[in-house]
Amino acid sequence: MPWAPRRACGHAPGTGECRACKAARDRRRPSRQARGLGAEYERERRAVLKDATHCVSCGRPFTATRRPTAGHVIPRVQGGGSRGNLEVQCHVCNYGEGSKLARSSHVR
């Protein structure tokens, strides 16, 4: 299933989704296991994050507010699996605008 950006629900104008709409969306979402993010993925994710100190996208050190995550080098929707396809990124780069900018120049 391709990823689609969230739309404002209409209950909370200008703020995105209200809690009820977010809960309903989460109930419809398949489990991590069903999405291919089971035990093998979790083992690899932990190994990648084990000694992480800096984000590979922006180069900034991790802090309490800039925490490490395991991002996919090649997005899963573009055919990238999890085995050997994870890199350490800060939360900002992995889930925000930083990943779009960094990935466009990231060559692998």
User: How confident is the model over 60-82, as a mean pLDDT?
Assistant: 85
DSSP 3-65: -------SSSTTS---HHHHHHHHHHSPPTTTTT-SHHHHHHHHHHHTT--B-TTT-PBP-SS
Neighbour tally for 71: CB within 10 Å: 23
Tokens in use for 14? 């200008």
pTM: 0.58
Max CA separation in the chain (angstroms): 43
* Domains in the chain: boundaries: 1-30, 37-105
Task: Report the chain's mean pLDDT, rounded to a whole number.
Answer: 78
Say if residues 38 and 60 touch (Cβ distance below 8 Å).
Answer: no
Task: Decide if pLDDT at 104 tops 60.
Answer: no
